[in-house]
Structure 1
Amino acid sequence: MKISKSTCNKIGMPLMGFGTYQLSIKQAEFCVSEAIKAGFRHIDSAEGYENEEGTGRGIKKGLKETGVSRDDIFVTTKLFPGYKKWGSTEKDYNQTIETLKRQLKQLQLNYVDLYLIHAPLSELRIEQWKALIELKKQGLAKYIGVSNYNEDRIREILDKGLEKPEANQVEFHPICAQINLTKYMKENSIEPIAYSSLAPLSTWRVEKGQGGEVLAEKKEEGQLIIKEIAKKLDVSEAQLLLRWGLQHGYSVLTKSSKPTRIRENLRVFDFEIPKGDIERLDQLNQNQAIAWAASGINPMEFAPALE
């Protein structure tokens, strides 16, 4: 990777990533291309987003228009493991292998830099993890990890004597600060990645059907403090929350369909949140997950029992 090491974590992942959740195929193509042109070098995708065809076209277009090479960007995608209660078939070892191969065709890539199990929703998750280890051996994924895994779910892997996850992508923002999990990941050299960094804002997922209104009352007090600190530092509220994640050692993801906002959200390396303001933001923690609330589950707390 030729990306500056100062803005990457230990597996070479740029600390700022562009996410594609809730984008249509057409939007994904446009936004991913714009993100690469703006300077993003990490694109975050997933099977469950159902837009990887557009994401792949956007990557191809963005690389062509900027002259950036494939080796200069970091692409993450995720396996949807299946979930019985949603009528979604749980993937076995071979199906997991074939899923990434299918995703690579949609993304028009020969490999992804990071492949994650999206959540511990399946009783076959150990079998799926073994498949990820094989995908890494085959060179189809440079690094492998998990998402929405708590300490116990990570221990399931370690207790089997299997290769440990190299990253864990979790909901992380001042209202859901994952204090104990963050400490555990640091102790075990598992790279933390934050999603839904902007969940505390009133402007987060406001379009109909996106679920941003769920648990809105939990966010009201924090919004006043976030607004006050952002104004004092002369940055946007989004930039403040992204910077908060960075200063806690996380790689962070952001998403927008507006080119001006895409560029703005990338400007988080030219300021620092003072210690006192970091502490004020830290005090907003309620251990309250928000991102999946509209779906009726919290994947960090739920997992079917393994025999």
Structure 2
Amino acid sequence: MKFSSTDKYVAPADLTVAVNAAIALERPLLVKGEPGTGKTELARQVAASLGVPMLEWAVKSTTRAQQGLYEYDAVSRLRDSQLGDPRVEDVSHYIRKGKLWQAFEAEEKVVLLIDEIDKADIEFPNDLLQELDKMEFFVYETGETIKAKQRPIVIITSNNEKELPDAFLRRCFFHYISFPDTETMQQIVDVHFPGIKSALLTEALTQFYEIRETPGLKKKPSTSEVLDWLKLLLAEDLSPEDIRRDGKNALPRLHGALLKNEQDVHLFERLAFMLKGKR
């Protein structure tokens, strides 16, 4: 099974190599990068490229590793026993399968996305070491061992909010998604907006990369944000001249798609004030 770019996703050569290496090694692929660089979308496009289903486990700060395996609903079983429900004799009625269990029991290979693993408690990755390594786990309530019928392709994303344990990192193939250069970004834009005029795209991308390189910027705009911005520019039918910045206004047109906090907006307002003072 070989992953490659799809008609909806431009995968740089190094990312393609990383995905295929992880598949060949049968190791989880740990993907890091700036928010908005397509880490989550990568898993969806790997599934699309390989023609296999995808299961998504979105991790939150309250997520426990056990939830990915299964959860035992003891409260419902107690209630049913009090009501005389005959189902209480079969404990499996009260087992809710998690995403790992679903991936392990699938008849065909699947892509399993564990999204934003760094949001969870620091022990979360360690609690999955055995399961991801051996591709099996034990269900204490039923006494059965669940083994993967087909080893899933596991893709794990992280925004670097927390350091991940070394023992966990040793079991992964790692890749950092670098921010796209101008040429790659043009390819990405062509996928989403194939009819965009080159003059508008050139002006928009020039401004976009200038904004990203502005000293003091708290949050740099990402790939997803420049795509949103371009969508708005096209919806408003703006020309390159319409969006060109001058000394009167250092803020880009429709800047709310690119700048996501008041500190960065104030930064560009101060830059505009300084430019006026020099004129």
The two structures have a TM-score, normalised by structure 1, of 0.30
The two structures have a TM-score, normalised by structure 2, of 0.32
Whose RCO is larger (CA < 8 A, sep 6+)? 2
Structure 1 or 2: larger helix share?
A: 2
Larger of the two Rg values belongs to structure = 2
